[in-house]
Amino acid sequence: MFFQRAEVDLAALVASSPCRPDFVLLQLPAGKNQLREFMFGREGGKRRHRRRRVDTKPPRCPNAFLLYRRSLRLETRRYGIDSLPFAEQSKLLAAWWQSENEEIRKHYQKMYTQAQMEHREIFSLGDPAPVQANPDETPSKDRSGYYDLLSPTSQMAQEGSPLDDGMDLPIPFLF
C-alpha cells in the first residue's frame, strides 16, 4: 500500500509556533562588514530604489529587533514565511524575538550599540546636538510687574512717588 506524502504548508506550521523552531537557523553577524551590510544593504546587489530624500537627513540606525529580523531574512524566505502577509510575518518574528534567550538578545543589543557607532562614523554625526529653542516662537509675556501693582509695597506707594503725600490712608475692610 502506498502512502501519499501530505503537503505540509511550512509557513503555516512555522507561524503556528510561538517560539523559533530549531530548523530555522539564526545567523549572528559578527564582523564590521557584515554589520554594515545589515544596516545599509549591499553596494552592488539588487535593491529596490526608494525615492531619495530631498533633505540631507541620514537614515535611522536599525535597532536590535530590526537587526534580529534581518538576520532571519534568508531563513524566512527558505521556509516560505515571506509568503505570509507582512503583518503576520511581523507578529511571528516579534513572538520569536520575545521567546529568545537573554544571551541572544544581549548579543543583538551589543550589535545595536556597534551599529550606532558605525552609523555616526559613516554619516559623521558626532554627538547628538542639544535641543535649541525655536527663534520664531513668540516670547512669553512678562507678567512679573502685574502682581506688584496689587501689593501694598508697589512702586506708587514707595517714598518719592508723586502719589505719596505723607498721609496714611485707611485700608477699607471688606466683610
- What pLDDT, on a 0 to 100 scale, did the predictor assign at position 139? 60
Model pLDDT for residues 15-38, shown as the tens digit of each residue = 666 667 666 666 666 666 766 666
With a pLDDT cut of 90, the percent of the chain lying above it is 1
- What pLDDT, on a 0 to 100 scale, did the predictor assign at position 93? 86
- What pLDDT, on a 0 to 100 scale, did the predictor assign at position 70? 84
Residue found by looking up cell 564582523 in the block = 31
Q: How far is CA 109 from CA 90, 92, 113, in A?
A: 19, 20, 6
Q: Which residue has better confidence, 24 or 63?
A: 63
Given a cut of 50, whether residue 2 has pLDDT beyond it is no
The structural domain count of the chain equals 1
Determine contact, residues 93/64, Cβ cutoff 8 Å: no
Within a domain: 115: yes
C-alpha cell of residue 47: 535593491
Given a cut of 60, whether residue 7 has pLDDT beyond it is no
Within a domain: 145: no
pLDDT mean over 33-44? 63
Within a domain: 101: yes
- What pLDDT, on a 0 to 100 scale, did the predictor assign at position 5? 46
pLDDT mean over 8-18? 60
Question: Where do the H-state alpha helices sit in the chain?
Answer: 10-15, 32-40, 64-71, 73-78, 86-99, 102-122, 146-150
Within a domain: 36: yes
Report the mean per-residue pLDDT for the chain: 69
Within a domain: 52: no
Given a cut of 80, whether residue 103 has pLDDT beyond it is yes
Q: What is the 3-state secondary structure (H, E, C) of 135-154?
A: CCCCCCCCCCCHHHHHCCCC
Mind giving me the DSSP string for 56-98?
-PPPPPP-HHHHHHHHTHHHHHHTTGGGS-HHHHHHHHHHHHH
Within a domain: 147: no
Q: Which residue has better confidence, 114 or 12?
A: 114
Within a domain: 95: yes
- What pLDDT, on a 0 to 100 scale, did the predictor assign at position 85? 87
Determine contact, residues 38/29, Cβ cutoff 8 Å: yes
Within a domain: 175: no
Model pLDDT for residues 129-164, shown as the tens digit of each residue = 666 777 666 666 666 655 555 555 555 555 555 555
* Residue range of the domain that includes 38: 29-43+58-128
